Chains A and B, each alone.
Chain A
Amino acid sequence: MLPHAEMVHWLFATGILFVGLCLLCEAIVGQEVWRARPWRKYLWPGVAFGMGVLLWPVMAFFTNSSIHMYAHGSWAEVLMLAGGAELGLVHGRLTSPLWRLTWPLAFAVTGTAFIVHEQNSWLFARSAFLHHLIGWTFVIGALVPLALVLRPRSVVLQACMALTIVSVATMLYTDRDVAPVFDHLSPLAGAPHR
């Protein structure tokens, strides 16, 4: 008995929103204040790594098409890699800031998988529209963590990173027909799925 895809999307949207809000807090109060409690530096990297682990059951159980399986698997891998690299950096086990390049990589892979696994046209159906919107947000948004590798102390870039992630979480909440936020975008797309 598998949960509806919406439930899974919402669960991960919650995790992504949490990561985005943590990043936003860190950008607002500054790294020193954010890390005043030692456990806080592990908070969002740990959640990101944990979401990567939790994406494996999604990959293994949702086998309704090959391409969905590959998309879920690629997200699991890049999220574990980027979350793991960040944990290694904040714990001091990794020292090179170049490990933060795993974030633009994760964004680019995730965005491409979003776009490719739902080959949709613009503004046709909500799911189609949002998959493209999320995909392109990630692909273009990959420039932000890339710039952060070069200017890690930039508050503007930190805030941009946080807001990109919060935006993606919001889109993910509205990704299915049962989420009555945007309504059905075009009658040409046929009846809502459920």
Chain B
Amino acid sequence: MRRVLLAVFAALAFPAAASAHATLVSTTPPFAHELQRGPARIVLHFDQHVTVLPGGIKVLNGVGAQFAAHAHVVGTNVVARVAPLKLGAYTVRWRAISSDSHVVSGVWTFGVRVPAPAVGEAYGAGGPTASEHVVRWIWFLGLALAIGSLGFRIFCLRGLSVPRSLERRIAVAAGLGIAVAINAGIAAFSLRAEDALQLPFGNFLYGDLSPMAATRFGHAFVVMTLGFAGVLALVYVSWLLDRPTLLVPAFVLSVLFAGGLSWSGHDALDPGSSWKTAVADWVHIAAASVWIGGLATMVGLLWYGAPELRRSAFAQFARLATVLIALVLGAGTYLSIVRLPHLSDLWTQGYGQVLLVKIGLVCFVLVWGAFHHFVVRPTLDRADAGVLARVGRSLVGESLVGIAVLLAAAVLVDSKPPAQSSEQSPAGAATTLRP
């Protein structure tokens, strides 16, 4: 810890040389373009002078063969001639020294008479790591807390006299969930870019992320970040002005913007996917978020914070949960059938095995929820304080299993579903790129 503090102090006190680092303004060929013939040269246009490094531009095919000649500087451009390219997908990796002595780096892809692969499928790119699973899980937790707490306030406390302290706690929970979701989104975007760039951390800080921002995931990241920043402001204004009605548009917008995950995930992009799978994924995520986040809100904020509302809120949540579980199961079953056409895929494929774990956890939490719905709810009216405390502990357990379901979902999203044998990949070349 002392070393970290010393390093931070040294970085502040003894800065390295020079001015703002160079920014890549444009490239030839542009990011992710399909060309009819191979480019004669690669041009990187910067906003200022840079110094070229040995091997400063590399053009690599699917097996790592290099086609670019020595790069040289022309004004604020770095140019490298390229040997004739055959049909296929290619990766450009570049590095240059900015006038501030930082090594700026980047990667992008193009295709010659084939669609350009996604930058995450560039030659040399790595796959998702354990840290990406954790970040995705935190992202889901943030979304569930935000959407679930807003949904709980709107649907389960409707018509009840909600104490001001509970209103404040719900607003804080929603705001916290949104802040977590925004920051986890930034971390997920950075990690996805790092998979493509494959740079040491020091160089990654000056890596160009714009090719990643130009992907579907990048667009979803931008829309979700801006959308949730707006929702955060809305939740804050609702609390500040004591206007709970503003939570309704905040909830609607949150559910809409959570669709960014579906719009940029397997169920929108992979072979076999369609608008129906994307919508089903969105319904699945939104319903699960309201269910798990609402449950956590009820047990974490209301059960001990506003005990007078326990019975009525529990009854309303039980009714809502029935609808949500139907949506989660319906959409999830449809997606499982599309992703895994053969039942044996569940135990023979890695994706299927993770799905099996998730299904097991969902079944567990469903049985637990059914116990609360069919056994606990009818007796709640005549339950004494001791019973209510035990119910609270049981709800905590159900919430924890729900959180575990979200972890399995995070691993599942980062896993690759098995290829659809009957259909050709529209980005077929992309799958051939990894070394």
Contact = CB atoms under 8 A, between A and B. Distances in A.
Q: Please determine whether chains A and B interact with each other in the same assembly.
A: yes
Interface in A46-83: 49, 53, 56-57, 59-61, 63-67, 69-70, 73, 76-77, 80
A168 B60 CA distance: 46
Contacts of A191: 48-49
A172 interface: no
Given A77-B179, A116-B11, A190-B48, A91 B213 contact: no
A85 to B, nearest CB: 10
A15 interface: no
Contacts of A189: 18-19, 99
B211 to A, nearest CB: 9
A194 interface: yes
A127 B208 CA distance: 20
B232 interface: yes
Given A115-B12, A121-B16, A67 B232 contact: no
Contacts of A115: 11-12, 15
B221 interface: yes
B15 A120 contact: yes
Interface residues of A, number: 44
Contacts of B241: 91
Contact of A63 (B20, B49, B179, B210): B210
B96 to A, nearest CB: 13
A53 B233 contact: yes
B233 A69 contact: no
B328 interface: no
Contacts of A63: 208-210, 212-213, 218
Contact of B49 (A67, A131, A190): A190
Given A77-B179, A116-B11, A64 B49 contact: no
B20 A65 contact: no
B23 interface: yes
B21 interface: yes
B100 interface: yes
Given A65-B104, A66-B205, A69-B186, A121 B15 contact: yes
B208 A65 contact: yes
Given A66-B209, A84-B236, A193-B48, A119 B102 contact: yes
A125 B21 CA distance: 12
A137 interface: no
B207 interface: yes
A128 B18 contact: yes
A154 to B, nearest CB: 27
Contacts of B179: 77
A119 B239 CA distance: 40
Contact of A57 (B23, B221, B226, B239): B226
Given A64-B24, A88-B240, A119-B102, A132 B15 contact: yes
A118 B230 CA distance: 29
A128 B19 contact: yes
Contact of B225 (A56, A112, A194): A56
Interface residues of B, number: 46
Nearest to B207: A66
A81 to B, nearest CB: 9
A64 to B, nearest CB: 4
Contact of B206 (A65, A80, A132): A65
B229 interface: yes
A88 B229 CA distance: 18
Nearest to B242: A93
A162 B293 CA distance: 43
B186 A67 contact: no
B239 A73 contact: no
Contact of A56 (B23, B210, B229): B229
Contact of A67 (B12, B99, B206, B229): B206
A60 B205 contact: no
Which of B186, B221, B242 is packed against the most chain A CB atoms within 10 Å?
A: B186
A105 to B, nearest CB: 15
Contacts of A18: none
Which of A60, A124, A126, A131 is packed against the most chain B CB atoms within 10 Å?
A: A60
A10 to B, nearest CB: 16
B208 A64 contact: yes
B193 interface: yes
A125 B18 contact: yes
B108 to A, nearest CB: 13
7 contacts: A66-B207, A77-B179, A93-B239, A118-B19, A120-B20, A124-B19, A193-B48
Interface of A: 49, 53, 56-57, 59-61, 63-67, 69-70, 73, 76-77, 80, 84, 87-88, 91, 93, 112, 115-116, 118-122, 124-128, 131-132, 139, 189-191, 193-194
Nearest 8 pairs of A and B residues by beta carbon: A125-B19, A56-B229, A63-B209, A67-B205, A64-B23, A63-B213, A193-B48, A127-B20
Interface of B: 11-12, 15-21, 23-24, 47-49, 99-100, 102, 104, 179, 183, 186, 190, 193, 204-210, 212-213, 218, 221-222, 225-226, 229-230, 232-233, 236, 239-242
